[in-house]
Amino acid sequence: MQGFRARASQSGFGKGAGLMTQQRVYLDYNATAPLRPMVAEAVLRALGLPGNASSVHSEGRAARAEMESAREQVAALAGARPKNVIFTSGGTEANNLALSPSLRQSGQAGPERLLISAGEHPSVLSGHRFDPGAVETIPVDGQGVVDLARLRAQLQAGPRALVSIQAANNETGALQPIAEAAALVREEGGLLHTDAVQAAGKIPLDLEALGADVLTLSAHKLGGPKGAGAVILASDRLEIADRLIRGGGQERGYRAGTENVAAIAGFGVASSLAAGHLAEEAARLEALRDEAEAELRRVAPEAVVFADGTRRLPNTLAFAIPGLRAETALIAFDLAGIALSSGSACSSGKVRRSHVLDAMGVEPALAEGALRVSLGWMTTKEDVSRFVETCERVASNLYKRRASAA
């Protein structure tokens, strides 16, 4: 794809673009963003450091300096204090660490219940450490937005709770009212966790303004390397007493094991780049997303765009064309040189109906055709045009089959 290659060249992407042929269009940033060139440079530099970040000699201190620089960069992206950033292997581990009954304010008992919004990522839905009987689901409306009235009722109906609500949905892009939810949770003496993996680098994040107690991130959604994430605590008084990985006491005892310095260094640079161009890039992506959406509706008038009645991430377009199955569409787009995903791009690589769309009350037949386009730092206007051209062919073939069957 020319757009991809030209932008790669302009960005100094260099040989890293070799996996992408000139004909390919990559529109699956919510799954993984291509590695940014400055991130690749940081990773390579850190890989050349021989020391262990826990060692006191010069080599060890150099590795430690890379980590602490990254800690500051990640903290700045989230409006947090560097000392409250705990590095993990990714967003899934971060969520598993944070969602514990042992998360508490110093000197207080931990929460007895976990309330989870119905549209959460699987690492939240099944990655927590609460007894299944102590877990409740908070419903969402037809746009995928959490029901705050129901949340209030659930908070008042039982003992102290930890509440987990994602900042932005990974499938539809729907943004959640985190600050409003945090206020409700605070009134009832609970704690709030927000999975901000999809929101980071796409919309502004400020831990204090959000009112969340814990926030989790992942590097590879930002154009950083795979294999790095973070738990960020809002206060020095917060602690997670029961750690997932015990051992040598790294990350202030929260996450034992020799740190992945190279991935963490890349995480820091990706965070800095995302924060430095946030408003400009969000506006650019929103314009491209809106163009893609308008053209989709033109070439496929029956298309349903999910969460189009609420605030969404500027880069995300989730849709379905009635009668078109996701498996068929994904193959057609891939053969046309376009990478996108189904509405439920799960870790196994299988296409299955989305639990998010089910929670929104979307008709099963329509949900089974859900597709997600997600744009990012290398997406161009030409990429959107290629997507629209392919949409037009796919929709035309669908309508022709209908006409011949009538």
Per-residue pLDDT 10s for the chain (406 aa) are: 334 444 443 333 333 333 444 589 999 999 999 999 999 999 999 999 999 999 999 999 999 999 999 999 999 999 999 999 999 999 999 999 999 999 999 888 999 999 999 999 999 999 999 999 999 999 999 999 999 999 999 999 999 999 999 999 999 999 999 999 999 999 999 999 999 999 999 999 999 999 999 999 999 999 999 999 999 999 999 999 999 999 999 999 999 999 999 999 999 999 999 999 999 999 999 999 999 999 999 999 999 999 999 999 999 999 999 999 999 999 999 999 999 998 655 544 556 779 999 999 999 999 999 999 999 999 999 999 999 999 999 998 887 887 777 6
What confidence score (pLDDT) does residue 402 get? Answer: 77
Residues 6+ apart with CB under 8 A from 114: 99, 101, 128, 130, 134, 135, 136, 161, 162, 163, 164
Gap between the terminal Cα atoms of the chain:
38
Is 346 designated active site?
yes
Strand partners, 85: 232
For residue 236, give the 3-state DSSP assignment: coil
Whole-angstrom Cα distance, residue 261 to residue 255?
A: 14
Within 8 A by CB and 6+ apart from 169, the residues are 119, 144, 176, 198, 307, 356
Task: Name, in order, each residue with C-beta under 8 angstroms of 191's C-beta and a sequence gap of 6 or more.
Answer: 103, 104, 105, 111, 161, 162, 163, 185, 213, 214, 238
Q: Are 325 and 342 in contact (CB under 8 A)?
A: no
Phi/psi at 234 (5° precision): -80, -20
What's the DSSP call for residue 98? H
Q: Which of 102, 346, 361, 396 is catalytic?
A: 346
**Angle CA 337–338–340, to nearest 5:** 150
Q: What is the secondary structure of 323-356 as a DSSP string?
A: T--HHHHHHHHHHTTEE-EETTB-TT--B---HH
Place of tokens 């007493």: 241
Q: What is the pLDDT of residue 175?
A: 98
> What is the value of pTM for the model shown?
0.91
Quick one: tokens of 384?
């959107």
Strand partners, 135: 114
| Domain ranges, ordered by start, for the chain | 2-27+278-405, 40-275
* CATH superfamily of domain region 2-27+278-405: Aspartate Aminotransferase, domain 1 (3.90.1150.10)
Q: Would you state the pLDDT for residue 398? A: 85
CA-closest candidate to residue 90, choices 259, 257, 262, 231: 231
- 164 beta partners: 116, 193
Q: What is the pLDDT of residue 347?
A: 46
Q: Is 241 helix (H, G, I), strand (E, B) or coil?
A: coil
User: Which residue's structure tokens are 């581990």?
Assistant: 93
Instruction: Answer for the pair 338, 25: CB distance below 8 angstroms, yes or no.
Output: yes
Pick the CATH number of 40-275 from 3.40.50.620, 3.40.640.10, 3.40.47.10, 3.60.21.10: 3.40.640.10
Query: CA–CA separation, 323 vs 235, rounded Å?
Result: 50
